[in-house]
Chains A and B, each alone.
Chain A
Amino acid sequence: MSRSDVLVDADWVQAHLDDPKVVVVEVDEDTAAYDKNHIRNAVRIDWKKDLQDPVRRDFIDQAGFEALLSAKGIANDDTVVLYGGNNNWFASYAYWYFKLYGHGDVRLLDGGRKKWELDSRELVVEQPERAATQYTAQPADSSIRAFRDDVINAIGTLNLVDVRSPDEFSGKLLAPAHLPQEQSQRPGHVPSAKNVPWAKNANDDGTFKSDDELKALYEAEGVDLATDTIAYCRIGERSALTWFVLHELLGQQNVKNYDGSWTEYGSLVGVPIELGN
């Protein structure tokens, strides 16, 4: 798999805005951002309302994913290009869902909404109308998802990559610094985890660094790319971006995203936690 199979630049998207077999999808942490404006002909997926189970803490199942994509007018043979704010955090999270449920051709817009805005490219308020489809999803691919017991069993044996900021890793902050800090869980990180903040994967404009720079980053942080890896953050969206880097860009074979992440692990009774750097 080459980089262009999973990542497209803004010029590519610009050239395919009217291509009926390319569906551009905006997924933002700020779910109202799409209402303000968006890339022309882009549809929205709301990570809270559309991607989460409404009752349990879990994400939508195979039937739910099929219903969602059918309603959005996305067909199995469409090329889906995901983008969003916050350097594609939630677009990466949605990308991971698309892979989990076996979509054939899904890519990220390099740099996401921020790069598009900093380039002063066109954004519109008109929402496209796409005819509903009959989307068929594959059973969830559990090889790319980690659960809490996988994380506990990985302590000291597999790569654990904590992608939160250094202050969250050390326990000084409980949430990203654009969110209020009131949380119930304990601060800190999983023992033996390496802190490789997601932001180190990206340039200031949100585009990904080169493969060589990315490999050098993980090697310098002591992450053996030949060893199986679990990435986590607070709720699993920033670590989906790191999962994208390791699994999709660098081609590491066994990488899982732990979407329970710190909001689950930091609330578990009796599990080991480390503080500090």
Chain B
Amino acid sequence: MCGAKAGGPDLAGVDVANETIIQGSVTRNEEPVNGYVRLLDENGEFTAEVPTSATGQFRFFARPGKWTLRALVPGATVDRQVVATQGEFTEVAIAV
């Protein structure tokens, strides 16, 4: 596997219109990074965590509102604030 892909993993079978999707990729020097992404709510409380895929991608099924994404990779932690909307993809590219 080489090179990072934009967007999240495959969405086959998911009712996208009813979901609030936050997705993206984690890269270092434009190459995908194996690590984890945490989803924290507006109070900073942990809500979910996923490992990045082989192509650096991640996805959450959240609810509308403000969220923080926290990428954890060997030797680095990076936060990103996002606002998510139902029926839309909130795309987040995180470079570490």
Contacts and interface: CB of A to CB of B under 8 A. Distances in A.
Whether A and B are associated in the same complex: the answer reads yes
Interface of A: 30, 33, 36, 85-87, 114, 117-120, 165-167, 172-173, 175-182, 197, 199-200, 204-205
Interface stretch (B24-32, B34-42, B87-95): B34-42
6 contacts: A85-B51, A87-B49, A114-B36, A114-B72, A204-B72, A205-B72
Contacts of A204: 38, 70, 72, 77
A180 B19 contact: yes
Contacts of A166: 41, 43, 45, 47
B44 to A, nearest CB: 11
Nearest to B77: A204
- Chain B binding site: helix, strand, loop or mixed by DSSP? strand
A166 B46 CA distance: 9
Contacts, number: 71
Nearest to B62: A177
B15 interface: yes
Contact-residue bracket for chain B: 20 to 34
6 smallest CB-CB distances across A and B, nearest first, come from A199-B46, A177-B48, A165-B47, A178-B48, A178-B50, A177-B60
B29 to A, nearest CB: 17
Nearest to A176: B48
B63 A167 contact: yes
Nearest to B67: A177
A165 B41 contact: yes
B33 to A, nearest CB: 11
B2 interface: no
Contacts of B34: 117
B18 interface: yes
Contact of A178 (B35, B61, B73): B61
B41 to A, nearest CB: 6
Given A119-B74, A172-B63, A204-B72, A177 B47 contact: yes
